[in-house]
A and B are shown apart, each in its own frame.
Chain A
Amino acid sequence: MRGIRKTFGPTIALGRVDLEVFPGEVHALVGENGAGKSTLMKILSGAYLPDGGEMEIDGKIYHPRNPLDARAGGVGMIYQELSIAPHLTVEENIVLGMEPRRGPFVNRKAMRAVALEALAHFDHPDIKPETLAGNLSVSALQLVEIGRSLAMGCKLLVFDEPTSSLAQKDIERLFALIDRLKAQGISIIYISHFLEEVKRLASRLTVLRDGLVIGTRDVATVTPEEVVSMMVGREVENLYPRTRHVQGEKLLEIRDLSGHEKPQSLNLDLHRGEVIGIAGLVGSGRTEFLRALFGLDAVKSGTILVSGKSETATPRDRWQQGVGLLSENRKEEGLALNLSIADNVTLTCLDRFGRGGMLSPKKQRAATSQWIDRLGIKCQGPAQPVGALSGGNQQKAAFARLLEHDVDVLLLDEPTRGIDIAAKARIYEAINEVVTDPKRPRAVIMISSYLPELLGVCDRIAVMSQGKLTRAAPVANLSPHDVMLVATGKTADLP
């Protein structure tokens, strides 16, 4: 791709981007949300037409007018939101748009053959040609989608954050598949927020920022700090900034807390000025713990003391007691997407923006503008609907709600999931700032499936396994290996 340009009205999405990918190469494309990755890939896969520039595949001019055209030209796109029709069978999905025909009818025999050949790449027991796609798991659907591209003989596959909705073992399986495809000479462009994935898979990476290529590096030699600096355009020395945390009085005391199924008799103390990490596998009961603590799920037994007092626990009460929750599920639970950033940030404390039930939108916007500046939320202004923002900026807005409410205890459930690394860096900075606030250090409980982040941000880490939580051990004494042993149930407690 050479000199690719694309504008939307006055917005320049891409300004003269060059990109080259070799046969059998896995090339990673990284950049903040809104950097132009998706636009570039949509042009490559025919979903958008470029305003300028040209593309070649194997030395031949390539100019796709629509996605089908692109696939015929050898470029297949695996979207983040899978484009599978759930009411069709696997084979129907694979041949969708290019059904083999006999006269006016679909040639079902040929369809079956095409599907079987494509599925032979995967060796997955659940995926049979006649299965209804709606009955398959997300990871299986992704394979069907890859199969669709392979069935068309694609030589270049584009993966747009393929692991964002996968479980760990499916991720491993996908990586193995990508390795095999690479060995077969298929080129892959891999878009990801996760540097670890990039390191695992790719040989080179290209950083995009504001619609421009900032640079291409060999994955083997580049450091995370260098990549983040390229992405955000300023020097980032340390991804996990850390000034000294000073422990203060006890804010939360949890004794023998049990929920409906999980957690089971859980104990934890949280002090001012400390960050406690909760590690563990998805489904181990981490989220249920925070939800029970916050009054979103029922508590079966046990006590929760907030600043030494046992009080009623509804989300409303918790906010008033100075406890705030950041949901792991930004789109479904965390944010009201078609409301403005200002409404979302101030929703828990509207009473501060007017008297007697009245409300001053101006004050709401003024307060929100301050967080937009401080967290670097990229937007048109506080009145913009939050759904129009990129994932990372949405997450910053959701985080700003806790800061605006000015809670003492921040309960963060996967605060950096699915957001780009530059936005992650901002959130780490913000966490460090609130717990080291000289006047009123706050306290944080943070759930994460990403161990390096927990080890980098937290003072102590506890591990959840099948509803049971270990004691919280200081990070200095912990290795990722120790944590994984407990999380997977191989040992009972941290060393």
Chain B
Amino acid sequence: MSSTHLKSALTLLGPFIALLVVYCIFGMMNSAMFSKDVLLGLLTQTVIVGTAAIGMTLIIIAGGIDLSVGSIIALCGVFAATLVCPPYSCSPPVVFLATIAFGAFCGFVNGGLTVGLRLLPFIITLGTMQIFRGAGKIVTKGTPVSLPFDVTSYKPWMGGAGIPWGVWLMIMMVILFTLILRYTRFGRHIFAVGSNEHTATLCGVNVGKVKLFVYMISGALAAISAVMNMAKSSQGDPTTAVGMELDIIAAVVIGGASLSGGEGTVLGAFIGALLMTTIRTGCVLNSIPTPVTEVIAGVIIIIAVIIDRLRHRKA
């Protein structure tokens, strides 16, 4: 038993060590990397990918995939910005909750089509990726919805210990969903569905319901990301977050999830998301050109997958 526990600890240790190594390498190249500001910046910039990666982890554990998450973030951003602006001028809590509900609805569309039509989620979300993206552009006629004020000058966004609320929220979500996956019936059902759908059916698990919930939760988490994203740029931009689904999926996979389902951790995905941000930030600090950054990020993803393969072979 201790050895199986050790193995699950190693699963998380891998990405964590990778994160430390990458962080230290950039730190040695430019000591500004170790400063408090950069550290805080790392956390803050991870929020958007990190929060959405939590939802993607659930989907991937359940054996699915969601390519539309970037589009959901854009569409939800437009939705939220519209609510903030006149004539609606909703208060922040209302905007937040309404956007989450809207995100869950987007997830409902993905999950409903996947379950109802018994089609591969890859195909369905490839379609909804275009649909959500297009819908955002139609509603806004292609131009971003600018907020009537500059959010960055809005001070109450800083939470306890000088860390923004968004970061606290993300950390809370990581803890919450780690607990849900481990200590609830629903959590174990997600694993069962992803590991072997037939077994889950045989054992009386309502597979369709589990999948639907997972996509809805993921949509809701993507909506939280969308609000953060909107706040960051002070606008609801229908063309934002293009390709972000790939960053999010990469974070989940770096975190040790298996794309064939049944395996993965939220904490791992969070570390994966941090790793992606660290690479980007480190490259900026060391004035490494963007194309090179992309190559580095790609190489790290592949290394992560190779390490994952080696780990499985040992098991």
Contact = CB atoms under 8 A, between A and B. Distances in A.
Interface of A: 296, 314-320, 325, 327, 332-340, 343-344, 347-348, 350-351, 354, 357-361, 365, 380-385, 388, 401
Contacts of B186: 357
Contacts of B315: 385, 388
A381 B5 CA distance: 10
B293 interface: no
Contacts of B3: 380
B258 A327 contact: no
Given A332-B198, A336-B200, A357-B185, A347 B206 contact: no
Interface stretch (B33-41, B75-83, B158-166, B189-197): B189-197
The 5 closest A-B pairs by CB, nearest first: A381-B1, A316-B204, A336-B195, A333-B198, A336-B196
Given A316-B204, A380-B3, A381-B1, A334 B199 contact: yes
A327 B202 contact: yes
B187 to A, nearest CB: 7
A316 B262 CA distance: 21
B232 interface: no
A347 B192 contact: yes
Contacts of A385: 4, 315
Contacts of B245: none
Contacts of A338: 195, 258, 262-263
A316 B185 CA distance: 15
B179 to A, nearest CB: 9
Contacts of A354: 183-185
Interface of B: 1, 3-5, 182-189, 191-192, 195-196, 198-206, 258, 262-263, 315
A290 to B, nearest CB: 11
A351 B183 contact: no
Contact of B183 (A296, A327, A360): A360
Contacts of A347: 188, 192, 199-200, 203, 205
> Which of B187, B202, B203 gathers the greatest number of chain A CB atoms within 10 Å?
B202
B185 A339 contact: no
Contacts of B187: 359
B309 to A, nearest CB: 14
B5 A383 contact: yes
A385 B188 CA distance: 14
A350 B185 contact: yes
Given A357-B184, A357-B185, A383-B1, A337 B202 contact: no
A373 to B, nearest CB: 14
Given A357-B185, A380-B3, A383-B4, A319 B203 contact: yes
B44 to A, nearest CB: 33
A78 to B, nearest CB: 24
Most interface-central of A325, A332, A338, A385 (chain B CB within 10 A): A338
A365 B187 CA distance: 16
A394 to B, nearest CB: 12
Contacts of A296: 201-202
Residue of A296, A315, A320, A388 with highest tally of chain B CB at under 10 A: A315
A383 B185 CA distance: 17
Contact of A314 (B185, B188, B195, B204): B204
A360 B179 CA distance: 11
Contacts of A361: 182-183
B198 to A, nearest CB: 4
Contacts of A357: 184-186
Given A327-B202, A348-B204, A384 B196 contact: no
Given A320-B204, A354-B184, 11 more contacts: A333-B196, A339-B191, A339-B192, A343-B191, A347-B192, A350-B189, A359-B182, A359-B185, A365-B1, A381-B4, A383-B1
Nearest to A383: B4
Contacts of A350: 185, 188-189
A401 B192 CA distance: 14
Nearest to A343: B188
A479 B137 CA distance: 76
A380 B200 CA distance: 24
B192 A336 contact: yes
Nearest to A295: B204
Contact of A315 (B189, B191, B203): B203
Contacts of B204: 314-320, 348
B197 to A, nearest CB: 9
A335 B196 contact: yes
B196 A337 contact: yes
Given A337-B196, A360-B183, A325 B202 contact: yes
A339 B4 contact: no
B202 A359 contact: no
A181 B205 CA distance: 50
B183 A336 contact: no
Nearest to A320: B204
Given A358-B183, A359-B187, A360-B183, A384 B4 contact: yes
A401 B263 contact: no
A110 B224 CA distance: 66
Contacts of A351: 185
Contacts of B203: 315, 319, 347-348, 401
Contacts of A332: 196, 198
Nearest to B206: A316
A155 B315 CA distance: 35
Given A380-B4, A385-B315, A333 B185 contact: no
A327 B205 CA distance: 15
A397 B4 CA distance: 17
A1 B27 CA distance: 57
A444 B106 CA distance: 47
A369 to B, nearest CB: 9
A365 B1 CA distance: 10
Contacts of A335: 196, 199
Contacts of B183: 354, 358-361
B194 to A, nearest CB: 8
Nearest to A314: B204
A340 B192 CA distance: 10
Given A314-B204, A319-B203, A359-B184, A336 B1 contact: no
Nearest to A401: B203
A361 B205 CA distance: 18
A408 to B, nearest CB: 16
Nearest to B186: A357
B1 A382 contact: yes
A323 B185 CA distance: 21
A337 B200 CA distance: 12
Nearest to B205: A347
A337 B204 CA distance: 17
Nearest to A325: B202
Contacts of B192: 336, 339, 343, 347
B184 A333 contact: no
Contacts of B262: 336, 338-339
Contacts of B199: 327, 333-336, 344, 347
A385 B311 CA distance: 14
A358 B198 CA distance: 24
